[in-house]
Amino acid sequence: MALPKEILQKVEKIRVWNSPYQPEINNSTSLTLLGAGKQGAVFKIDEKRCVKVYFDNESRVKELHALQLGGMAGICPKVYFWDRNYIVMEYIDSPSLIDYLHHNPLTEPLTRRILRLLDTFEEIGFNRFDHAGRHIFVMQDDSLKVIDVVHVIKDEPVWLAEKLIADMGKYAKRFLELVRQIDPVRYYRWITNPNFKKLEEKINRIDS
């Protein structure tokens, strides 16, 4: 999908640089900054589209590949257009999993959808299962979509969903219990991971 000329001109005016402390951004356009991170910065184009501008082309290439894989599986934003240092993609106006759990309890159906999401990761070639809750979104139809997928394909699998579990906050222990009941193989893989004990200590501190 080609971008209208006026939007393309705005996107190409934006400049981002990485720095030791925080990203540096030069944005003289009307596009609103949504957030910035380790790979670049994201700006809202309209109610349906946003653009991620990258610090380097390597990150853009990795994320484009992952977004295309995830898009075909329905778990990532749609990609509309890309160029040498940016990707225009679907704008997701839904709560992150963290925000959702601030207002709703963790249920068995939601846990099953999260586990199905991780299954889909594996099916399409993603092998870093440690995805942060702030980058998982609960859509209006109750499906889940993920963003920030630059590093979801690693040389070695990352099986323990450490960030995801910790991001459950007060529901972390319930989440683990539900996973034990629903998917005992995954649960065993998690609890036998060398890093699980440290994660368990963190969960206990949250719960105390």
pLDDT digits (tens, 9 = 90+) for 38-89: 899 999 999 999 999 999 999 999 999 999 999 999 999 999 999 999 999 9
Among positive and negative, which fits the CA dihedral 65, 66, 67, 68? Answer: positive
pLDDT digits (tens, 9 = 90+) for 158-198: 999 999 999 999 999 999 999 999 999 999 999 999 999 99
Distance CA 143, CA 125 (A): 20
Distance CA 123, CA 173 (A): 27
Q: For domain 5-90, which architecture applies?
A: 2-Layer Sandwich (3.30)
* 116 token code pair: 């199905």
The domain locations on the chain are 5-90, 97-207
Distance CA 199, CA 208 (A): 14
The answer as to CATH 1.25.40 being correct for domain 97-207 is no
Residue 1 scores a pLDDT above 70? no
pLDDT digits (tens, 9 = 90+) for 85-144: 999 999 999 999 999 999 999 999 999 999 999 999 999 999 999 999 999 999 999 999
Would you say how long the chain is, in residues?
A: 208
One-letter amino acid identity for 43? F
Closest CA to 168 of 119, 92, 107: 107
Question: What mean pLDDT do residues 22-43 have?
Answer: 94
Contact, 31 vs 11, CB < 8 A?
yes
